[in-house]
Amino acid sequence: MNLTSTQAEGWLRAFVPQVADLRDRDLFVLPSFPALWVARRELSGTGIAWGAQDVHPDDRGAHTGDVSAEMLADLGCTFVEMGHSERRYAYGEGDALVAAKLAAALRWGLTPLVCVGERELWSIPTAWSAISRHLKRSVRGLDGPALDRVVVAYEPHWAIGVGARAAPLDHIEAIIAEIHRWLAARGATGTRVLYGGSIDASNAARVAATPGVDGLFVGRAALDPDVFASIARVPLA
């Protein structure tokens, strides 16, 4: 819940020129709902995609205050996020709701960005046990081609928030390898797995170069368009 529509306009106008020459990677932003129309206006034709931070599982109806996938598609959104730890813990959203939101996104041609992660800095087997349960329940019933339309964001909950630190590189590599194996066992051949959690200009290149990491999911550091532009330019593995 950052940046008004007016502030988002200034952010986009500062950011876009700094990355206009990048053609070897996919860039996207997920502003708040009120700023989506600004993103459509400022980003159309740039090659930078935009999307939303949440979506309601139903296409329409008596859901005061909610936003449907149809509405997001009409605004030109490509991505929609679901399952973020803040939604899970602040609003009690569980995997069944995430699965319903994912289905809504796919119905309207959006790319679901499903967040998974463990609550504490546990051992790899314990962390994977929790994450695999989230995956199994959140993307249940999807076959390989449908899974390839999904993006998974690994965001350990303990690595999110003011004062937090990114996960150790060996931890990121191990968990993301497990996610890729889990997806491949269900027929996925191109599902991208991102890492998010205290990514900043000092660690972005190292995390991006970690085996298995297909991209970065940036939070607080992206509030500064200059910093986000520098992160967007890190070498790809």
**Longest CA–CA separation in the chain, Å:** 47
The encoded tokens of residue 173 equal 């590599």
| Residue 155 falls in the annotated catalytic set | yes
- The CA distance from 67 to 114, in Å, is 17
How many H-runs (helices) and E-runs (strands) does the chain carry? 10, 7
CB 18, CB 229: distance < 8 Å: yes
- Please name the residues in contact with 123: beta carbons below 8 A apart, sequence gap of 6 or more: none
Among 56, 81, 84, 171, which one carries the catalytic annotation? 84
SS3 64: coil
Of 81, 155, 173, 178, which residue is the catalytic one?
155
For 89, other C-beta atoms within 10 Å of its C-beta total 11
Query: Which is nearest to 19 in space by CA: 52, 51, 46?
Result: 46
Q: How, if at all, do strands 28-29 and 151-154 pair? A: unpaired
From CA 26, how far away is CA 41, in angstroms rounded?
19
Catalytic residues: 84, 155
